[in-house]
Amino acid sequence: MTAELWAQLVGGIGFFILVSGTLWGIWWRIEGKVDKAKAEASTVASAASAQAALARQELAEHRLHTAETYVTKAGMQEQTSQILRSIEGVGNRIDGLNERLDRLYEAQPRGRAARAG
């Protein structure tokens, strides 16, 4: 082998090593950014999971509080029937008042026309 052939061979190997090193360096930087993005996404996902668990717990506590403090179906039906009975009582009183007023006007003499006749 001649010196010129060795120079070409060494130059080709050097070029291959240079290209391989450049590609490996680019890949290494990309991989580093991907790993960093994965770590950030994992942190955000963990925080979101913790918030969702907290929201679930608070919702369960609110449901319990509402069930203990406010109305059940049976209680609501009972309250509704009481309100309807009260409204019916008011309606009956108004009807009674109308009847009394009707009787009052029916029993009154006609005034001057009744005396003149």
3-state secondary structure 59-110: HHHHHHHHHHHCCCHHHHHHHHHHHHHHHHHHHHHHHHHHHHHHHHHHHCCC
Residue type, 110: R
Cα separation of 76 and 84, whole Å? Answer: 12
> Residue 66: pLDDT band by 50, 70, 90 thresholds?
confident
3-state percent helix, strand, coil for the chain, nearest multiple of 5: 90, 0, 10
Residues 79-108 have pLDDT tens digits of 899 999 999 999 999 988 888 888 888 877
Residues 9-59 have pLDDT tens digits of 999 999 999 999 999 999 999 999 999 999 999 999 999 999 999 999 999
